[in-house]
Amino acid sequence: MSGEAGFLTTKLDEMLGWARKYSIFSYPFVTACCGMEYMSVSCAHYDIDRFGAGWPRFSPRQSDLLLVVGTVNHKIAPVLRKVWEQMAEPKWVISFGVCATSGGFYDNYATVQGIDRIIPVDVYIGGCPPRPEMVLEGLMLLQKKIASQKQELF
Per the annotation, does 43 bind a ligand? no
Check if the beta carbon of residue 112 is closer than 8 Å to that of residue 103. Answer: yes
> Would the annotation count 128 as a binding residue?
yes
Q: What pLDDT score was predicted for residue 1?
A: 39
Backbone angles phi, psi at 25, to 5 degrees: -105, 110
pLDDT tens-digit readout, 61-111: 999 999 999 999 999 999 999 999 999 999 999 999 999 999 988 889 999
The b/e string for 78-93 (b: 16+ C-beta within 10 A; e otherwise) is eebeebbeebeeebbb
The answer to whether 125 touches 101, Cβ cutoff 8 Å, is yes
85 part of a folded domain: yes
In which band, very low, low, confident or very high, does the pLDDT at 2 lie, cut at 50, 70 and 90?
very low
Domain count, the chain: 1
pLDDT at residue number 77:
97
Q: Is residue 99 part of a domain?
A: yes
Expressed as residue numbers, the domain containing 108 is: 25-147
In-domain check, residue 35:
yes
In tens, the pLDDT along 108-145 reads: 999 999 999 999 999 999 999 899 999 999 999 999 99
Q: What is the dihedral of CA 84, 145, 124, 41, to 10 degrees?
A: -90
Q: How confident is the model at residue 153 (pLDDT cuts 50, 70, 90)?
A: low
Please report whether residue 61 resides in a domain: yes
User: What pLDDT, on a 0 to 100 scale, did the predictor assign at position 37?
Assistant: 84
**Portion of the chain with pLDDT greater than 70, in percent:** 91
**Could you tell me if residue 9 is inside a domain?**
no
Residue 67: predicted pLDDT:
94
pTM, to two decimals: 0.86
Dmax of the chain from CA atoms? 61
Q: Is residue 79 part of a domain?
A: yes
**3 state SS of 71:** coil
Average confidence score pLDDT of the chain: 87
Nearest CA to 118 among 25, 20, 26, 29? 29
Q: Is residue 100 part of a domain?
A: yes
Q: Is the peptide bond before 129 cis (omega within 30 degrees of 0)?
A: yes
**CATH code of 32's domain:** 3.40.50.12280
CA 21 to chain centre: 11
Confidence of residue 42 (pLDDT cuts 50, 70, 90): confident
User: Angle at CA 52, nearest 5°, toward 84 and 86?
Assistant: 15
Residue 1 covered by a domain: no
